[in-house]
């Protein structure tokens, strides 16, 4: 099975690449894709660059050019839910675009005609994540993840996103990957480890915790790859 593993930033995928052997590099559409065998799995790994457009391009390229049939995303997020602390893991059950706004035409936030406000992650992959969390003895929270082309460092914006979408965490790529995978019938799973609380300290906290939280997320994704490999 060909499995895609994406991040947005080098820091999010470096911990994964470090654990792979005989990695090959491919340059496509101004980005670098890494392929490697992991047990019975054919992996395609890449960081997209930050934001919805770059992450949609990477997801579509992985599916169309590399034949990816399951998509996993590993990275960091800002917390909305007060119970979420730095390093906590959130598995997205549903994702939405908090910056998509044609409310001037009477539509709800996050909606455009023929689209969906919420995209649902694959229940089977969520089940594998629960199994991994149990085996590793780590806490995994299921939650709604809101995506937008903004680094949120403002308690009022964060509160609005939480209230409008019942979102637990926010980031800048998940829903874009979800839209592409949903349209192309590729099951997807988006994992985020908290790096900040999307508040006034978010910029500082993000820089401080990017590496450790990225590593936590990548380590969890690696364990999911082990389960997928053994299930083959």
Q: How many residues bind ligand ADE (CB under 6 A)?
A: 14
Residue with Cβ nearer ligand ADE (60 or 202): 202
Give the residue, chosen from 77, 95, 186, 224, that forms a contact with ligand ADE under the rule CB under 6 A: 77
Q: Give the span between the Cα atoms of 121 and 96, in whole angstroms.
A: 11
Asked if 76 is part of the footprint of ligand ADE (rule: CB under 6 A), the reply reads yes
Least distance from ligand ADE to the Cβ atom of residue 192, Å: 8
Q: Could you say which residues in the range 145-174 bind ligand ADE, by CB under 6 A?
A: 151-153, 170-172
Nearest Cα to Cα of residue 71 among 232, 224, 226: 224
Give the residue, chosen from 7, 78, 143, 162, that forms a contact with ligand ADE under the rule CB under 6 A: 78
Q: Give the span between the Cα atoms of 136 and 59, in whole angstroms.
A: 28
Among 12, 168, 173, 182, the one annotated catalytic: 12
Give the residue, chosen from 89, 202, 215, 224, that forms a contact with ligand ADE under the rule CB under 6 A: 202
- CA dist list (Å): 155 to 31, 196, 198: 34, 12, 7
Residue with Cβ nearer ligand ADE (23 or 53): 53
Least distance from ligand ADE to the Cβ atom of residue 218, Å: 15
Q: Give the span between the Cα atoms of 155 and 110, in whole angstroms.
A: 20
Q: Is 130 a catalytic residue?
A: no
Q: Which residues of 7-37 are buried (b: 16+ CB within 10 A; e: fewer)?
A: bbbebbbebbbeebeeeeeeeeeeeebbbbe
Asked if 176 is part of the footprint of ligand ADE (rule: CB under 6 A), the reply reads no
β-pairing, 2-7 vs 70-79, is parallel
At 148, phi and psi to the nearest 5?
A: -165, 160
Asked if 89 is part of the footprint of ligand ADE (rule: CB under 6 A), the reply reads no
List of residues contacting ligand ADE (CB under 6 A): 76-78, 151-153, 170-172, 195-196, 198, 202, 206
Active site members? 12, 196
């Amino acid at each position: 099975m060909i499995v895609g593993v994406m991040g947005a930033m080098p820091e999010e995928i470096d911990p994964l690449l470090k654990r792979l052997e005989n990695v090959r590099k491919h340059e496509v559409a101004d980005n670098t894709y890494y392929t490697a065998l992991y047990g019975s799995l054919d992996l395609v790994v890449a960081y997209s660059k930050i934001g919805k457009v770059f992450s949609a391009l990477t997801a579509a390229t992985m599916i169309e050019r590399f034949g990816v049939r399951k998509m996993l995303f590993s990275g960091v997020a800002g917390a909305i839910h007060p119970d979420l602390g730095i390093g906590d893991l959130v598995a997205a059950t549903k994702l939405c675009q908090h910056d998509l706004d044609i409310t001037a035409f009477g539509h709800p936030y996050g909606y455009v005609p023929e689209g969906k406000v919420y995209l649902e992650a694959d229940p089977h992959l969520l089940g594998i994540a629960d199994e991994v969390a149990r085996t590793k003895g780590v806490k995994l929270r299921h939650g709604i993840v809101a995506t937008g082309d903004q680094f949120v460092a403002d308690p009022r914006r964060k509160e609005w996103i939480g209230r409008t979408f019942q979102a637990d965490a926010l980031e800048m790529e998940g829903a874009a990957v979800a839209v592409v995978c949903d349209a192309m019938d590729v099951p997807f799973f988006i994992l985020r480890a908290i790096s900040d609380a999307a508040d006034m300290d978010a910029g500082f906290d993000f820089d401080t915790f990017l590496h450790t939280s990225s590593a936590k997320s990548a380590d969890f994704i690696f364990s999911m790859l082990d389960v997928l490999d053994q299930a083959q």
